[in-house]
Amino acid sequence: MADNDPPGFELPLLLFAGFRSLIDQLHAELATRGHPDVRPAYGFAMQAIGVLGATASEIGRRLGVSKQAAGKTVDRLAALGYVERVDDPHDARRKLIRLTPRGIDSLVQSAEIFDRLRARWVEALGADRVAQLESSLRTVVPNAGFPVDVPGWFG
C-alpha cells in the first residue's frame, strides 16, 4: 500500500491469463491425441461424473448449475461418445451417467498433459516457486476442489 499501488486489475488478469494459458494448451494437445471435440466445459463435467458415474441432477449439484443445464451437457457428451446413460435398476426415475472408455481416456490424457504443463512452469520458475504459488492460492481460496462451480460464471 505504498505510493505506487498496483493498478488493481493486474492480479485478476494474471490469474485468468495463467488459467487460460493452461486450458488452451491442454486442448491443443488433447486435439492431437484423438480428442479434438473436447471443450473446457466437458472436462469439468466429466470430472464431476467421476469413475463411479452420477445422475444428471447430481452432476448439476457438483457443478453448481441446474439439473437442466447438466442434462444438456450430458446430451452433448453422449452425442460425442464420452458418456452413456444407463437405467438405474433400483430407481426407475434415475438414469446413471457413466464415462465410456473414450471418456476415461480423455480424463487420463488430460491429467498427463496438465502434469507436463506444470513441469514446464517448474522449468521456468523452479520447483519451490511453483509450490509456493499453489500453496498461496490454497490459502486464499479454500475449497478449490469439486464442487468447482466453474461453468456458466460468465452468464
Q: Which residues bind its own copies (CB under 8 A)?
A: 1, 5-24, 26, 39-41, 47, 110-115, 117-122, 124-125, 129-130, 132-134, 136-141, 144-145, 148-151, 153-154
CB of 34 to DNA, least distance (A): 18
CB nearer to DNA: pick between 87 and 134: 87
Going across the sheet that includes 95-99, the strands are 54-55, 95-99, 83-87
119 binds, among its own copies, DNA, none (CB under 5 to 8 A by kind): its own copies
Give CA–CA dist 52/49, Å, rounded: 7
Q: Which does 102 bind (CB under 5 to 8 A by kind): its own copies, DNA, none?
A: none
**Helices (DSSP H) in the chain: which residue ranges?**
10-32, 40-49, 56-63, 67-79, 101-125, 127-140
| Closest CB to DNA among residues 88, 123 | 88
DSSP state of 85: E
